[in-house]
Amino acid sequence: MSVKNNLNQLIEEIGNETTLVAVSKTKPSELIKEAYEAGHRNFGENKAREMQAKAEELPDDILWHFIGHLQTNKVKYIAPHVHLIHSIDSLKLLKEVNKRAANEDRIIKVLLQVYIAKEESKFGLDEEEVLGILESDEFQSLENIEVVGLMGMATNTENEETIRREFKSLTDFYNKLKDQYSLTVLSMGMSGDYQIALECGSNMLRIGSAIFGARDQH
Ligand SMILES: *Cc1c(COP(=O)(O)O)cnc(C)c1O
């Protein structure tokens, strides 16, 4: 199977209402180029320096998605390049992104990462924390960021009911907020669970191994 065939098959399956982010973390630029030449533009990375290096090397019209845990001291490396940050998990991080976006004279779009999984997962906000941020005066004074939606990851399990329950809870929360806060993006679903995510209302998938093949641990 080639990257191009994998992409075309996925796009046929999910339709073009859903944004497909091809998660290229750990993969060489040659493979990204292959997908690019097949017409794909949305790519996802989870390390700031890796995104920076790839963005500097590859075509300017690529839309780079940052999907991994982001430390405040790394924001500066992605600020010139990133199209959408999926993984905002604190007001402190949001303020740093705002500052770096202002330095670049741009507005950076972001998603708030919501913790929905049962398993011990280190990152993400709970619903109360999301509301706390959106309602705060501090947040409302940030002029160089735009919160456009929510991101979540389900438990890594074979149990489809668990995954469905977790995705459903995020969809319900998203639907509660979307009109009031002008949210348009619900990012959920990876190679192993994207069909369930779509059934539950996702409109942005982050898919790596099903496009580029298995990764070494990273
Ligand atoms: C790696 C990663 C993905 C893609 O995972 P696959 O199982 O390879 O599709 C999606 N989202 C996040 C946050 C990731 O870190």
For 23-72, the pLDDT digits (tens) are 999 999 999 999 999 999 999 999 999 999 999 999 999 999 999 999 99
pLDDT band at 216 (very low <50, low <70, confident <90, very high): confident
pLDDT band at 218 (very low <50, low <70, confident <90, very high): low
Question: What is the percentage of the chain residues whose pLDDT exceeds 70?
Answer: 98
Nearest to 212 by CA among 47, 23, 54: 23
Q: What's the pTM value of the predicted model, to 2 decimals?
A: 0.97
Please indicate whether residue 26, judged by its CB atom, sits closer than 6 Å to ligand 1.
no
Q: Which residue among 7, 47, 67, 198 has the greatest number of ligand 1 atoms within 8 angstroms of its CB, and so is best to mutate?
A: 67
Please indicate whether residue 209, judged by its CB atom, sits closer than 6 Å to ligand 1.
yes
Task: Report the number of secondary-structure helices (H) and strands (E) in the chain.
Answer: 10, 8
Cβ(49)–Cβ(77) below 8 Å: yes
Query: pLDDT for 197-214, tens place per residue?
Result: 999 999 999 999 999 999
Q: CA 27, 78, 40: angle at the middle one, nearest 5? A: 45
